[in-house]
């Protein structure tokens, strides 16, 4: 697929993020954190939240990619039919235009 430094794949649609995944609870405000234990808990919570979001993002990314590939495949099918017709048409015109050698 697109190289890391390449252009954006056409199947990517950047949508604004809205709701949090179900079951995710916002943390208390940072100002209310004190002990190292609380800080550690907060770090763990943040990590779990990040993993959960990335998991969902990966699913969505793969879904879009599949859709994109399907779309490309159906376009290939259409173009193949079109190409076949054009080749046939060309052969017909060649027959009509070629001088009779006889």
Q: Which of residues 10-29 bind DNA (CB under 7 A)?
A: 11-12, 14-15, 17
Q: Which of residues 30-89 bind DNA (CB under 7 A)?
A: 51-55, 57-62, 64-65
Contact yes or no for 42/33 (Cβ under 8 A): yes
Judged by CB under 7 A, which stretch of 3-11, 29-37, 73-81, 87-95 contacts DNA? 3-11
Nearer to DNA, 8 or 25 (CB): 8
**Tokens 């990314």 belong to which residue?**
61
Q: What is the DSSP letter of 66?
A: H
Instruction: List phi, psi (to 5°) of 55.
Output: -60, -50
Tokens of 4: 């890391």
Tokens of 55: 């998991």
- 2 counts as binding DNA under rule CB under 7 A: yes
Q: Which residues bind DNA (CB under 7 A)?
A: 1-6, 8-9, 11-12, 14-15, 17, 51-55, 57-62, 64-65
């Amino acid at each position: 697929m697109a190289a890391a430094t390449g252009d954006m794949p056409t199947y990517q649609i950047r949508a604004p993020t809205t709701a949090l995944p179900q079951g995710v609870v916002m943390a208390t405000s940072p100002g209310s954190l004190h002990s190292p234990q609380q800080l550690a808990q907060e770090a763990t919570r943040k990590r779990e939240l990040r993993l959960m979001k990335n998991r969902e993002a990966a699913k969505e990314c793969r879904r879009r990619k599949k859709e994109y590939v399907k779309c490309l495949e159906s376009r290939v099918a259409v173009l193949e039919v079109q190409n076949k017709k054009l080749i046939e048409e060309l052969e017909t015109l060649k027959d009509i235009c070629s001088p009779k050698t006889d």
